[in-house]
Amino acid sequence: MFDKHEIALSVKNLNVDYGDFRALENISLEIPARQITAIIGPSGCGKSTFLRCFNRMNDLVPTARVTGEVLFYGQNIYDSKVNPVEVRRHIGMVFQKPNPFPKSIYENVAYGARINGYKGNMDELVERSLRAAALWDEVKDDLKKSALALSGGQQQRLCIARAIAVEPQVILMDEPASALDPIATLKIEELMQELKKDYTIVIVTHNMQQAARVSDYTAMMMLSKEGSRAGTVIEFGPTPQIFTSPRDRRTEDYITGRFG
Amino acid sequence: MLRKTFETELQQVKDNVLFLGSLVEQAILDSVEALKKRDMDASRRIMEADREINARRFAIENQVMVLIATQQPMAHDLRLLASILEIAGELERMGDYAKGIAKINILMGEQPLLKPLIDLPRMAQKDADMLHRALTAFLDEDVETARAIPQEDDEVDALYNQIYRELITFILQDPTTIERANWLLWAAHNLERVADRVTNICERTIFIATGEMAELDGAANGEENA
């Protein structure tokens, strides 16, 4: 599908179970590098669960069991030799609700790099990360101020700066703009277009217009069959095709609002 | 049902397209009938009625714009609305062809027809028939019919070529008939173009139903003649 793109993440026959409950079933797809891939689908179809598979966040749920493979540039991140903390350094995450630490703006950005033993110039790293997150001009004179004093949109961009500061290759975003007003949402969307020059982005969104606006590829998720509670990817393709001529009837029905 | 309002509005736009189509169909038949009978008043009425065709085309465009802005249509809905913009434009141009024929009748003034009209009314009838069925296929999203109709463009082209050859023989025999022959040729050309635009409507119907954007043969043949 993407002749011109390198593959960053390759998912093969992925299943996720929570105890007896199967949450994700038989997902296989490839995420192109330095592109934005959106995951859409109705509530409860496992979009966030799927996103969390990309940096082993589901490991933090005690009963969760992941089978299948997630290859990150060819390396299976679920291999027993792989350290999940190392995975998360390369594959960062931004959540729905901005979650800055109750520390200064500066410390929020510097925090991750510091625990990773960053040896370079910290001031430079903080500035570079804040600039990349399109927040520098708004906070450069207030770096010592508490991050909690920022607006919701600024806090979200701070969280993006914090994710960038550890120099990951992939940024996962779980509904990054759903708690923000339209202007702050547009800023995040514009920022994503800048970020994709350097990073692979995977975003979960309920907002189909947002998926259509920002993403290059779209994965449509749905419960795998009637009566089942396991989600799966039913259609994956270039975003313009998904939103103008989807191949699967269920994608058509969902994006045109016939159900969902 | 989640989409009740939107469905109702989509249906209204489609109804408006059909209504515009029926006005255009009638204008094509009437324009040739008026020419055949040299009925100047009828031709003036057709030219006047073209204003309504134009106004209805703008109204449809506006309705579609509002739906795009307010409903953010996707997939089939988006293809339908985008295609309606095209189809309304095609219909409006067909209306202009009818108006053009009405104008020819008026330009001819007191001069008699070069010959009794036989093939031109046939062309008009064929055009109107193709247009009517093309719009029914659009409404039903009937891909099979939409693919079949453009093949009939050959019949229209054949009638046009026949009229062309006949008028050329008139001119060769008596060069003073040039002006009157040219008027009829102009009318025939307009009717030939109508069928090409019917083909365009059929292409849109296939696109709406399948997402496939392909040129059907009828139109290509027509372009060569033009």
pLDDT beyond 50 at B142: yes
Domains present along chain B, CATH in parentheses: 4-225 (1.20.58.220)
Identify whether the C-beta of residue A30 lies closer than 8 Å to the C-beta of residue A11: yes
Quick check: A258 and B3 CB within 8 A? yes
In a domain, A171, yes or no: yes
Phi, psi (5° rounding) for residue A82? -90, 135
Does the beta-carbon distance from A257 to B78 stay under 8 Å?
A: no
The residues of A whose Cβ lies within 8 A of any Cβ of B are 208-209, 212, 243-246, 251-252, 255-259
Chain A residue with Cα closest to B208:
A245
Q: What six digits make up the tokens of A213? A: 């606006």
How many independent structural domains does chain A possess? 1
Residues B75, A258: C-beta atoms closer than 8 Å: no
| Chain B residues interacting with chain A (CB cutoff of 8 angstroms) | 2-3, 6, 72-79, 210-211
Q: Which residue of B has its CA nearest to A213?
A: B72
Q: Residue B24 in contact with residue B95, Cβ under 8 Å? A: yes
Range of the domain at A210: 7-255
Q: Tell whether A109 is covered by a domain.
A: yes
Query: Is residue A183 in some structural domain?
Result: yes
Does B2 have pLDDT greater than 80? Answer: no
Contacts of B2 in chain A (CB under 8 A): 257-259
**pLDDT score, position B218:** 56
- Judged against a pLDDT cut of 60, whether residue B222 lies above it is answered with no
C-beta atoms surrounding B94 within 10 Å: 29
Query: What pLDDT is stored for residue A4 in this prediction?
Result: 76
Q: Flag whether A145 is in a domain.
A: yes
Q: Is the confidence at residue B194, as pLDDT, over 80? A: yes
- Is residue B219 very low, low, confident or very high in pLDDT (cuts 50, 70, 90)? very low
Per-residue pLDDT tens for B69-82?
988 999 999 999 99
- The closest CB to that of A245, out of B3, B73, B211, belongs to B211
Name which of A206, A243, A244, A252 to mutate to probe chain B: the one with the most chain B Cβ atoms within 10 A of its Cβ. Answer: A244
B39-71 pLDDT tens trace = 999 999 999 999 999 999 999 999 999 999 988
B226 pLDDT band, cuts 50/70/90, is very low
Prediction ipTM score: 0.74
Contacts A259 to B, Cβ<8 Å:
2
Q: How far is the alpha carbon of A244 from chain B, nearest alpha carbon, in Å? A: 4
% residues pLDDT > 90 (chain B): 90
**Encoded amino acid at B138, one letter:** F
Specify the pLDDT at position A260: 53
The reply to whether residue B76 touches residue A252, judged by beta carbons under 8 angstroms, is yes
Is pLDDT of B225 > 60?
Answer: no
Q: What is the CATH number of the domain that holds A73?
A: 3.40.50.300
- The pLDDT of residue B221 is 46
Identify whether A2 is part of a domain: no
Task: Report whether B85 contacts B61 (CB < 8 A).
Answer: yes
- Nearest Cα of chain B lies from the Cα of A186 at a distance, in angstroms, of 17
Nearest-Cα residue of chain A relative to residue B71 = A256
Contact A251 B6 (CB under 8 A): no
Task: Give, in order, the Cα–Cα distances in Å from B39 to each of B30, B46, B106, B121, B126.
Answer: 10, 11, 9, 15, 22
A187: closest CA of chain B, how far (Å) = 21
Contacts of B74 in chain A (CB under 8 A): 208, 212, 243-244, 255-256
A68 within a domain of the structure (yes/no): yes
How do A36-40 and A200-204 pair as beta strands? parallel
Q: Is residue A1 one of the residues assigned to a domain?
A: no
Q: Is residue A169 part of a domain?
A: yes
Identity of the residue in B6, B75, B210 whose CB atom sits nearest the CB atom of A252: B75
Strand partners, A171: A92, A201
SS3 of residue B47 by DSSP: helix
| DSSP annotation string for chain A | --TTS-EEEEEEEEEEEETTEEEEEEEEEEEETTSEEEEE-STTSSHHHHHHHTTTGGGGSTTEEEEEEEEETTEETTSTTS-HHHHHHHEEEE-SS----SSBHHHHHHHHHHHTT--S-HHHHHHHHHHHTT-HHHHTT-TTSBGGGS-HHHHHHHHHHHHHHT--SEEEEESTTTTS-HHHHHHHHHHHHHHTTT-EEEEE-S-HHHHHHH-SEEEEEEESSTT---EEEEEEEEHHHHHHS-SSHHHHHHHTTS--
For B81, which residue in chain A has the nearest alpha carbon?
Answer: A244
The CA distance from A241 to the nearest CA of chain B, in Å, is: 9
Across the interface, whether the CB atoms of A243 and B6 are under 8 A apart is answered no
Please give the mean pLDDT across all residues of chain B.
Answer: 94
Q: In what order do the strands lie in the sheet with A21-32?
A: A75-76, A64-72, A7-18, A21-32, A231-238, A217-223, A36-40, A200-204, A170-174, A91-94
Contact residues, chain A, for B76 at CB < 8 Å: 252, 256
Q: Which amino acid is at B16?
A: N
pLDDT beneath 50: ranges in chain A:
none
Of B72, B76, B79, nearest to A209 by CB-CB distance is B72
Inspect the interface and report whether the beta carbons of B75 and A246 lie closer than 8 Å.
Answer: yes
Chain A environment of B72 (Cβ under 8 Å):
208-209
Contact B74/A212, CB-based, under 8 Å? yes
Number of neighbouring beta carbons within 10 Å of residue B205: 27
